[in-house]
Chains A and B, each alone.
Chain A
Amino acid sequence: MDSIWEGFVKAFALILSFDRELLDILLMSLRVSGSALIIASILGIAMGTLTALRRFPFRDTLITVLHSCMGLPSVLVGLLLYLILSRSGPMGFMALLYTPSAMILAQVILAFPIIASLTHSAVLSVDPIIRLTAQTLGATPFQAAKAVVHEARFGIMSAMVAGFGRAISEVGAVLIVGGNIAGFTRVMTTTIALETDKGNFALALAIGLILLAVSVCINLAFYRIQRRTTAGRS
C-alpha cells in the first residue's frame, strides 16, 4: 500500500516539476499518435463514406474485413510490420524500423479499421431523406454525398476519438517497431511498460496519469463541440 501512495506522491511531484524527460515523452506520443490520427482519418473517413454510399463489387466483403480488423491484436501488427520493415524485409530499404515513422505506420494500421467501420455505420444511419432533400435543392451527386457526411459529423468525430484512443493507448506494436529508444521513439505507453519492469513506479504512474488526462481532455473537447453545434436543441 505504501509504495502505491508513495508512487502517486512522486508522480505528482514529477508532473508539477515539468520534468524534461516526461515532457519529451508526452510530445513524442502526441506527435506519433496525432500523425497516425490524421492519416487514418483521411483514409478511414473516405473508406467509410464510400462503403456506405456506393455499391461496388466485393463491398460487403470489404465491410466485413474492416469490421473484423477493428480488433486486430496489436502485437501481431507489430510483428508483421517488423518483418516487412526489417532490413531483409520487402520495405527494409526504407530504413524505417525503430523510427517514429514505423510507429505512425503501426498506429495507422490499428486505427484505420476503427475509423472506417464507425464512419461507415455513422453515414449509413443518416436518414435517406437527407440525401433526397439535398437533391431536391439542386445538389450534384457529390454535394448530396457531402450533405449526408455532414449530417453524420458527430458519429465521424466519435470514430476519430475512438481511433485516436486506440492509437495512443497501444503498446505492443509500437514497442516492437519503435524499440522504445530514449529521446527518439519512447512514448508514454512503452515508457510505462519499461519503467514498471524496472520498478520505477513513480515515473510509470506519472505517465499513466498524463495518458489518462489526455484521453479525458479529448473526450471533453468532443463533447463540447457536439454541445455547441447542437445548441438550441432541446
Chain B
Amino acid sequence: MPLTLTLNNVSKAYDDDKILSGLSYTFSAGETHILMGANGCGKSTLLRICALLEQPDSGSLAYSSGNGELQVGLELRRRITLVLPKVGVFNSTVFNNLAYGLKIRSIAKNERTERVIKMLKFIGLEHKKNRNALTLSSGEAQRLGIGRALVIEPDLLFLDEPTASIDNKNRELIEAIILQMKEAGHTTIIMTTHDSSQAERLSKRIILMKNGKLGAA
C-alpha cells in the first residue's frame, strides 16, 4: 500500500552550511511528486533523509499508510527505496543485480526468478540478463537501477535525477516506466529533475525547492 510522507520542520546543515531549513510538506500517497530547484539547493540531501539513509539535524518525518503511522525500523526501510542519480552497479550479472533486494528479503528462489524476469521484460533488459552489469551503458544502468528498485515493490520510491546525462531513447523509456507506475498508483513516487518539460510530462504535482524550503510551483 502506498505511503504518505509528512515532513515536519526538517532541517539539515553540513558544517554550518544550512541546506534544509525547516521544511514542512505532505507527499500524498499513490501520487507522483516532482521536486525541482537549482543545482546544489539540497534536493538530493532531502531525498536521502526521506529515504532513511541520513538523519535530519532537527524536525521529524512521519510515514503512514491506511492503518496509521509506521514505526521507523527495518520493516519500514524495506518498503522504501531510492535510486541514486549515478546508479551503483554490483560486479555481477544484470539478473543478480535485480535479484539483490529479493535475496536479502529471503524471497524463495522460484518467486525471485519469476519476479526478476518479469521486471527485466518491463525495463527492456531481458536479453542482457546474463551480461555483467558493469558493461551496460549509462542509460541501461539507469533502467537497471529503476528495475532493481521496482522489483521489491516499494510503497515509497525516490528517483534522484533518473534521466540526467542519458540519451533521449533511454529518457523516453524511463518516462514511460514512471508513467506506468503512476497509472498503477501502488507506489508514492518522489523524484527530482532538472528538466521542467519532463516534470510537466510526468505529473501535475511539481514542487519547487528554494532557500531550503518547499513550495508549490
Q: In whole angstroms, what is the CA distance A139 to B88 when docked? A: 14
Counting CB contacts under 8 A, is A220 at the interface? no
Counting CB contacts under 8 A, is B121 at the interface? no
Residue of B nearest to A131 (CB): B88
Please state if A136 and B90 are interface contacts (CB–CB under 8 Å). Answer: no
Q: In whole angstroms, what is the CA distance A85 to B54 when docked? A: 52
Please state if A136 and B132 are interface contacts (CB–CB under 8 Å). Answer: no
A151 and B91 in contact, given A132-B84, A136-B82 (Cβ under 8 angstroms) = yes
Count the A-B residue pairs with Cβ separation under 8 angstroms: how many? 60
Counting CB contacts under 8 A, is B109 at the interface? no
Counting CB contacts under 8 A, is A3 at the interface? no
A134 and B134 in contact, given A129-B86, A140-B74 (Cβ under 8 angstroms) = no
Counting CB contacts under 8 A, is A230 at the interface? yes
Please state if A232 and B93 are interface contacts (CB–CB under 8 Å). Answer: yes
Residue of B nearest to A133 (CB): B88
Contacting A138 at CB < 8 Å: which of B91, B92, B101?
Answer: B101
Please state if B101 and A137 are interface contacts (CB–CB under 8 Å). Answer: yes
Counting CB contacts under 8 A, is B51 at the interface? yes
Contacting A136 at CB < 8 Å: which of B53, B134, B135?
Answer: B53
Chain B residues closer than 8 Å to A136, beta-carbon distance? 51, 53, 81-84, 149
Counting CB contacts under 8 A, is A6 at the interface? no
Chain A residues closer than 8 Å to B53, beta-carbon distance? 132, 135-136
Please state if B88 and A127 are interface contacts (CB–CB under 8 Å). Answer: yes
Q: In whole angstroms, what is the CA distance A135 to B104 when docked? A: 11
Q: In whole angstroms, what is the CA distance A139 to B152 when docked? A: 12
Residue of A nearest to B102 (CB): A137
Counting CB contacts under 8 A, is A198 at the interface? no
**Closest-CB distance, A2 to chain B (whole angstroms):** 53
Counting CB contacts under 8 A, is B58 at the interface? no
Please state if B90 and A133 are interface contacts (CB–CB under 8 Å). Answer: yes
Chain A residues closer than 8 Å to B105, beta-carbon distance? 138
A-B contact pairs, 25 of them (CB 8 A): A127-B88, A129-B84, A129-B86, A129-B88, A132-B84, A133-B84, A133-B87, A136-B81, A136-B149, A137-B148, A137-B149, A138-B74, A138-B105, A138-B152, A139-B104, A140-B74, A140-B104, A147-B100, A150-B90, A151-B90, A229-B92, A230-B132, A232-B130, A233-B134, A233-B135
* A residues in contact (CB < 8 Å) with B: 127, 129-130, 132-140, 143, 147, 150-151, 229-234
5 closest Cβ contacts across the A-B interface?
A: A133-B88, A129-B88, A138-B78, A233-B132, A137-B101
